[in-house]
Amino acid sequence: MEVTQRTIPPEIQEDGSVLYRSVMSKEDTEAICYLVSQRVIPVVFVPGVMGSNLAKSDKRSTAIWLLDSLSTVIHWTNRSAAERMVLLNPQDTVVYGGGKLPTETPLSVAEMRRRGWGEVAYMSYGEFLVWLEGALNDTHQWQTGIRSTLLDEVKAREIGVTALTREEAALSYKYRYPVHAVGYNWLQSNEDSAKRLAGRVNEFMGFYRSKGFMCDRSILVTHSMGGLVGRYFTESMGGKEVILGVVNGVMPATGAAAAYKRVKAGTEGAAGSVLGRNAEEVTAVFAQAAGPLQLLPTPEYGSHWLKIRDGNRMVSLPRSDPYNEIYTVRGKWWALCHEQLINPLDTRKKAVDEDWQRYVETVETLVRPFHRAIANRYHPNTYAFYGDDTAHKTWGELTWGRRYAGPRFGPRAIDDLTEGTVMHDTGRGTISVLTRSAGNALHVVFDLNGSDESGDGTVPRRSGAAPREKAKVCLAYRGIEHEAAYKVRPLRLFTVWSIVKITDAVKDTSMAYCK
């Protein structure tokens, strides 16, 4: 039967339920109009480190860091350490909002720009933003959409959760969830990024209120370091007054030893061509960038995760304070930053002292206080997932192991494992050290161990699982690769399930419906 449809002005009932109006045409045919709630809860996605597009401050219309396609990142492959330091200067960069936008969406280009979709890496998140927008705003498919799938106990159990109740799903359909994204300058302190997040969240909510909608709460969905940004916003800036709840994906809750590994040995895999393939390239950026430095293990990560081994003898650090015992230690071959690599622009090394002091100041004034501010603090309505897979091991602990010359010669014991002069550093995890044995000179080689702990390839299980005692739900998943976490369907379903669960808290806010 052919259906004739007439335009009908929206009419929203007081309870805000999903509404249907039947309209009879002159031919006695019927059309159905789907009317949606006037109550809006923006869902705001916060990307991981390197997941936001950047431009130079004086050339805001031209991106310098853009993850739109392989062709937009391949030019970083041959960048020198000096070029990386200049281009990725936290004081000279800003968020770039002109990134590539998805095409498979009914949203207009202008609307996607307003929502911040062009601020985040298209390669990592473009498809996910479209999927999440569709999954959360599927009023026209309420009987077959994602939430209906999660009502099924068997299908819910497949992703490790209990099925949604019909009451929970029905409540969620009384609200609209437009999906937004907030990029941030990941080179700067996550405290600065949290301030930008706060401003954008308030801007989004203000926009909907200006259009006549009720909107005074938002929900955060974060990836990796974005979780640290979100935690500072909600727990140190009063953001939980407007944030209904948070979904954290593969968050390095207490840091990641992989950050130390990358500074000392370069970034592993294909990402190394972009992040830096050796200590020289990575240090030039990390030493000036508070954001990446804030990914280092915090005191809550635990002690003794950095080890120096010579056969049965071993020294392990930190005992209690990673900042004083590892991060700001100067002149030791195993310390985080080699002072000679901090500033590749200073070819004659005349400003080494000044560069070192500037680096130490960054650690002491930006890294340590930030870690302290978010330690063991999470939004009370937090849902989180992390990787726990031996197929995606990462560095839970790091061990510098002495390499022996061969079985014919018994090794001479090293007097002090922490002492020695660097003779050669490959920048890829092998360091030749001139040390002493029984007071005599001894030349030895140390190699950094490979990945050793179950995780997602970047965040070890111990850090990903850290929110368990605070979060409403904190689940471990296998098969997670860190960067691609939100490309996996089970984790996308977990995200929608969590948002529906978080929505229950709206009953205690001004956006609740009258009983």
- 163 inside domain: yes
pLDDT for position 404: 82
pLDDT for position 15: 39
Q: Check whether residue 66 and residue 6 sit in a common domain.
A: no
Strands 306-310 and 54-56: unpaired
What digits encode the pLDDT tens for the residues 248-283? 999 999 999 999 999 999 988 767 777 889 999 999
Secondary structure (DSSP) of 289-326: -HHHHTTSPPGGG-S--EEEEETTEEEEE-SS-HIIII
Q: Check whether residue 129 and residue 222 sit in a common domain.
A: yes
Q: Supply the angle between the helices 279-286 and 258-265 in degrees, to the nearest 10.
A: 120
Q: Check whether residue 118 and residue 16 sit in a common domain.
A: no
pLDDT for position 407: 55
- 96 inside domain: yes
Q: What is the mean pLDDT of residues 321-325?
A: 98
Q: What is the mean pLDDT of residues 452-459?
A: 97
Query: Residue 10 pLDDT > 70, yes or no?
Result: no
Query: Residue 124 pLDDT > 60, yes or no?
Result: yes
Query: Residue 20 pLDDT > 70, yes or no?
Result: no
pLDDT for position 426: 97
Q: Check whether residue 107 and residue 148 sit in a common domain.
A: yes
pLDDT for position 23: 46
Q: Extract the tokens encoding 467.
A: 């929110």
- 337 inside domain: no
Please provide residue 46's backbone torsions phi and psi, each rounded to the nearest 5 degrees: -120, 115
Q: Which of 13-27, 430-444, 447-461 has the lowest mean pLDDT?
A: 13-27
pLDDT for position 35: 62
pLDDT for position 8: 35
pLDDT for position 148: 93
Query: Residue 405 pLDDT > 80, yes or no?
Result: no
pLDDT for position 11: 36
Torsion angle, CA of 82/252/327/49, rounded to 10 degrees? 20
pLDDT for position 364: 98
Rounded Cα–Cα distance for residues 280 and 264 (Å): 8
Task: Quickly state the pLDDT bin for 12 (edges 50, 70, 90).
Answer: very low
Mean pLDDT of the chain: 92
Q: Check whether residue 181 and residue 225 sit in a common domain.
A: yes
- 66 inside domain: yes
Q: Check whether residue 138 and residue 67 sit in a common domain.
A: yes
- State percent of the chain over pLDDT 70: 91
- 302 inside domain: no
Cβ atoms of 223 and 236 within 8 Å: the answer is no
- 434 inside domain: no
- 351 inside domain: no
Q: Check whether residue 17 and residue 54 sit in a common domain.
A: no
Rounded Cα–Cα distance for residues 107 and 210 (Å): 20
Q: Check whether residue 108 and residue 216 sit in a common domain.
A: yes
Q: What is the mean pLDDT of residues 165-181?
A: 96
Q: What is the residue type of 192?
A: D
Q: What is the mean pLDDT of residues 147-162?
A: 96
Task: Quickly state the pLDDT bin for 7 (edges 50, 70, 90).
Answer: very low
Query: Residue 107 pLDDT > 70, yes or no?
Result: yes
Buried b (16+ CB within 10 A) or exposed e, 110-144: eebbbbbbbbbbbbbbbebbbbbbbbbbbeeeeee
Give the list of residues 6+ apart from residue 198 with CB closer than 8 angstroms, or none.
Answer: 233, 237, 239
Q: Check whether residue 127 and residue 4 sit in a common domain.
A: no
Task: Give the total number of structural domains in the chain.
Answer: 2
What digits encode the pLDDT tens for the residues 276-309? 899 999 999 999 999 999 999 999 999 999 999 9
Q: Check whether residue 143 and residue 183 sit in a common domain.
A: yes
143 vs 438: which has the higher pLDDT: 438
Q: Check whether residue 20 and residue 56 sit in a common domain.
A: no
Q: Check whether residue 24 and residue 63 sit in a common domain.
A: no
Q: What is the mean pLDDT of residues 476-497?
A: 97
Give the list of residues 6+ apart from residue 258 with CB closer than 8 angstroms, or none.
Answer: 394, 395, 458, 459, 460
8 vs 495: which has the higher pLDDT: 495
Task: Quickly state the pLDDT bin for 32 (edges 50, 70, 90).
Answer: low
pLDDT for position 71: 81
16 vs 169: which has the higher pLDDT: 169
CA proximity to 231, closest of 54, 381, 53: 381
Rounded Cα–Cα distance for residues 357 and 328 (Å): 9
pLDDT for position 340: 96
Give the list of residues 6+ apart from residue 251 with CB closer than 8 angstroms, or none.
Answer: 222, 224, 225, 226, 227, 228, 384, 386, 459, 464, 467
What digits encode the pLDDT tens for the residues 44-101? 999 999 999 999 998 888 899 999 988 878 888 889 999 999 999 999 999 999 999 9
CA proximity to 507, closest of 203, 92, 14, 175: 175
Q: What is the mean pLDDT of residues 359-365?
A: 98
- 287 inside domain: no
Q: Tell me the residue range of the domain where 230 lies.
A: 43-257+371-388+462-478+495-508
Rounded Cα–Cα distance for residues 274 and 86 (Å): 15
pLDDT for position 273: 75
Q: Extract the tokens encoding 144.
A: 């077959």
What digits encode the pLDDT tens for the residues 204-241? 999 999 999 999 999 999 999 999 999 999 999 999 99
